């Protein structure tokens, strides 16, 4: 376990290009593995999680090559033209819940026996949410600990075979569940439909269309006809907005900050984060924007609005839309004028760690007062944090969130388990050091 020492900063300025979006990289890797032809992907995520998806595609028969280095690096994926092979070993999803849940839907229609495994953290995460709809389509899928709400975790075994379309209403807001159903429906008999009570990120819809699939939206209901074939694409993955969240929050901490994010993903279903940054006192200027394969890519400038770093309440649909960004927003909440309250975010307790508990524990270690709820946190503003020893819980978002909080603390902060950042953002600490003025 490595320790990273974060020293306080006096300002936060500069320009940075972020690694490719994790969510999009996962989906492009999986669909490229299923497609016919060779897909070429630039700016693929450097995080460990999407590379777990790539490794699973290779185990299923796709051919993967890496060419070039740095910004010129390209990943080529020659797909299986719709026919995965029987893997020789269990499919190792590493730390990636996205890989495990979405891959289950992709492979379930194929006539092979599959076992999906992961690291210790992943084996604790709930998987009943994808077993239930896939079983309704006819998949033979079994979870460790028993099927149903009381069991339901990895390793997962799937005896693949033909699936039949269903009409499915998602019980919880989850882009991963939606994607598992869409990937299965793409290959099933009939037309699968799915509705969402809360609109989740739509990267899967854009990716499917980019690879040549037809799917349709009518209000809150998506429909995808089965037995469709996919064709390879050439694409550049936009910069990861969830990774940008850490630097956006860092910019809020300093009155003279000036941050430019180049080639960042600006998908409207992810834009709630930018709305929150604006509500807290950030000023966001869009310098340019383009569309590639349905995804918006732009350059934005972030400064702070004179008059203070405000607070807000985050609840309801907004909590679901920015669930991954909540830890860093909570970590900087003590510095706000009015505090931040987070509710309706119980899903944070079943991520890579119990993120509510870890945020509360580490904020208290830095001297904050707060109230922990089953579904969130109430964190008063107007507080000054001090340096402390931070327990990341081997959770990448906790490690990075408290590195941001440390920039305004008094004294140095030690991030224990800092290597966890590589799960999503291996370059995080080098970029943080470049942008932090001391």
Gap between the Cα atoms of 191 and 256, Å rounded:
54
Assess contact for 320 and 347: CB atoms under 8 A: yes
3-class secondary structure, 345: coil
Q: How many CB atoms lie within 10 A of CB 88?
A: 6
Is 344 part of the annotated catalytic residue set? no
Assess contact for 372 and 396: CB atoms under 8 A: no
Query: Exposed, middle or buried, 168 (CB in 10 Å: 0-12/13-18/19+)?
Result: buried
DSSP state of 246: H
Q: How many CB atoms lie within 10 A of CB 267?
A: 19
Q: What are the tokens at 228?
A: 């469709």
Gap between the Cα atoms of 330 and 404, Å rounded:
11
DSSP state of 255: T
Gap between the Cα atoms of 374 and 286, Å rounded:
37
* Interhelix angle 128-136/97-107, nearest 10 degrees: 10
3-class secondary structure, 173: coil
Residue 354: name the closest of 311, 313, 392, 380 by CA.
392
- Which residues lie closer than 8 Å to 210 by C-beta, 6 or more apart? 233, 235, 293, 294
Query: Exposed, middle or buried, 68 (CB in 10 Å: 0-12/13-18/19+)?
Result: exposed
Asked whether the CA dihedral 8, 13, 15, 18 is positive or negative, the reply is positive
3-class secondary structure, 378: strand
Q: How many CB atoms lie within 10 A of CB 410?
A: 12
Q: Give me the sheet containing 413-416, strands edge to edge.
A: 3-6, 413-416, 389-391
- Which residues lie closer than 8 Å to 34 by C-beta, 6 or more apart? 79, 80, 82, 84, 106, 230
Out of 21, 202, 324, 391, pick the active-site residue. 324
List the catalytic residues: 324
């Amino acid at each position: 376990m490595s320790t990273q020492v974060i020293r306080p900063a006096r300002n936060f300025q500069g320009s940075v290009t972020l690694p490719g979006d994790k969510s999009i990289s996962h989906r492009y890797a999986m669909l490229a593995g299923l497609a016919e032809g060779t897909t070429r992907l630039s700016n693929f995520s450097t995080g460990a999680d999407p590379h777990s998806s790539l490794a699973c595609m290779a185990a299923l028969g796709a051919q993967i090559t890496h060419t070039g280095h740095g910004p010129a690096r390209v990943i080529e994926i020659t797909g299986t033209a719709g026919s995965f092979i029987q893997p020789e070993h269990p499919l190792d999803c590493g730390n990636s819940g996205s890989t495990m849940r979405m891959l289950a839907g992709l492979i379930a229609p194929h006539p092979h026996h599959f076992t999906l495994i992961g690291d210790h953290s992943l084996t604790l995460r709930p998987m009943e949410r994808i077993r239930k709809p896939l079983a309704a389509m006819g998949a033979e899928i079994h979870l460790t600990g028993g099927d149903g709400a009381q069991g339901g975790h990895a390793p997962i075994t799937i005896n693949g075979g033909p699936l039949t379309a269903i009409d499915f209403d998602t019980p919880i807001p989850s882009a991963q569940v939606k994607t598992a159903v869409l990937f299965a429906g793409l290959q099933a008999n009939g037309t699968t439909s799915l509705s969402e009570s809360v609109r989740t990120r739509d990267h899967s819809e854009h990716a499917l269309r980019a690879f040549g699939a037809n799917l349709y939206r009518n209000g809150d209901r998506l429909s995808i006809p089965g037995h469709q074939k996919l064709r390879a694409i050439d694409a550049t993955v936009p910069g990861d907005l969830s990774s940008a969240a850490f630097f956006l929050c860092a910019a809020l901490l300093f009155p003279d900050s000036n941050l430019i994010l180049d080639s960042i993903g600006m998908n409207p279903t992810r834009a709630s984060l930018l709305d929150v940054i604006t509500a807290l006192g950030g000023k966001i200027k869009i310098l340019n924007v383009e569309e590639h394969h349905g995804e918006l890519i732009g350059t934005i400038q972030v400064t702070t609005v004179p008059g203070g770093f405000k607070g807000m309440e985050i609840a309801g649909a907004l909590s679901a839309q920015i669930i991954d960004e909540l830890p860093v927003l909570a970590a900087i909440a003590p510095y706000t004028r009015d505090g931040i309250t987070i509710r309706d975010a119980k899903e944070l307790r079943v991520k890579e760690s119990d993120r509510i508990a870890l945020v509360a524990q580490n904020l208290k270690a830095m001297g904050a007062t707060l109230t922990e709820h089953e579904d969130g946190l109430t964190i008063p503003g107007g507080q000054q944090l001090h340096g402390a020893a931070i327990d990341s819980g081997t959770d990448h978002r906790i490690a990075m969130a408290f590195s941001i909080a440390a920039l305004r603390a008094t004294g140095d902060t030690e991030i224990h388990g800092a290597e966890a950042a590589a799960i999503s953002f291996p370059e995080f600490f080098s970029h943080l050091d470049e942008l932090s003025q001391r």
